[in-house]
A and B are shown apart, each in its own frame.
Chain A
Amino acid sequence: DIQLTQSPSTLSASVGDRVTITCRASQSISNWLAWYQQKPGKAPKLLMFEASTLESGVPVRFNGSGSGTKFTLTISSLQPDDLATYYCQQYNSDSRTFGQGTKVEIK
């Protein structure tokens, strides 16, 4: 299986801050990467796919980039509603895998 490692595991930032989450793959996955937001007690919500394509209805403050083995999700101006855990997911191989998650806290 392709392993995904996210960093950091937790981050604390203030409203308005720029926040960056990194996802590294154990082998090249081209741009076959998605990002999800999961709020406590809820199902994940798709934010981004093909590494940098914003899902319809997702605020433009979310931005994705990267290819190969290194990817980033950036929130340009953190909002209180962004309190959540963020997961990357690869779909390059037949067996889909997820990162371990990055919990975003608001200072």
Chain B
Amino acid sequence: QVHLQQWGAGLLKPSETLSLTCAVYGGSFSGHYWSWIRQPPGKRLEWIGEISHSGSSNYSPSLESRVTLSVDTSKNQFSLKLSSVTAADTAVYYCARQRGAAIFDYWGQGTLVTVSS
């Protein structure tokens, strides 16, 4: 059974850097792309970016300038950094496994990140 467990700081000030990590338990880590998706309060889901086990990445054009994804294959973990956060970045952030083209079949539990001065 596949399980994703994520963690990171939940309260940030404007201009700080958001940092989240997701650990993958079970299944194949190298056989998939891994994504971050966020959901602002009351709004639609927004895909942030994806990374493979080898570090190949692809980002949403709207966030690309502020996003860095990384992977640690020794720990089956991948991470998200989002720089220069503002209140608009307040959201629940999810990590997810991609299957096939870009179907998200396993999700982390979600982390509420609030940006407030």
The interface bits of chain A over 29-64 (1 if a CB of B lies within 8 angstroms of the residue's CB, else 0) are 000101010000011111001000001000000000
Check: B101 CB closer than 8 A to any chain A CB.
yes
Which residues on the B side are within 8 Å of A49 (C-beta)? 100, 103
Which residues on the A side are within 8 Å of B107 (C-beta)? 43-45
**Other-chain contact of A34, B43, B44, B61, B103 (Cβ < 8 Å):** B103
Classify the secondary structure of A's interface with B: loop
Task: Report, as a range, how many residues of chain A touch the other chain.
Answer: 20 to 34
**Other-chain contact of A43, B60, B102, B108 (Cβ < 8 Å):** B108
Classify the secondary structure of B's interface with A: loop
The interface bits of chain B over 76-117 (1 if a CB of A lies within 8 angstroms of the residue's CB, else 0) are 000000000000000000101000111111011110000000
**Other-chain contact of A46, B44, B58, B105 (Cβ < 8 Å):** B105
**Other-chain contact of A95, B44, B61, B110 (Cβ < 8 Å):** B61
A64 to chain B: closest CB distance in Å? Answer: 13
A94 and B58 within 8 A (CB): yes
For A45, give the chain B residue with the smallest CB separation: B107
Task: Report, as a range, how many residues of chain B touch the other chain.
Answer: 20 to 34
Which residues on the A side are within 8 Å of B44 (C-beta)? 87, 98-101
B56 to chain A: closest CB distance in Å? Answer: 12
Bound complex: CA A44 to CA B102 (Å)? 15
Q: Which chain B residues (27-69) contact chain A, with CB distance < 8 Å? A: 35, 43-47, 58, 60-62
Q: Which chain A residues (1-54) contact chain B, with CB distance < 8 Å? A: 1, 32, 34, 36, 42-46, 49
**Other-chain contact of B45, A55, A89, A95 (Cβ < 8 Å):** A89
Bound complex: CA A42 to CA B44 (Å)? 14
Per CB-CB distance, the 10 closest pairs between chain A and chain B, nearest first, are A91-B102, A43-B107, A96-B47, A98-B45, A100-B44, A49-B103, A91-B101, A98-B44, A46-B105, A96-B102
For B4, give the chain A residue with the smallest CB separation: A43
A32 and B61 within 8 A (CB): no
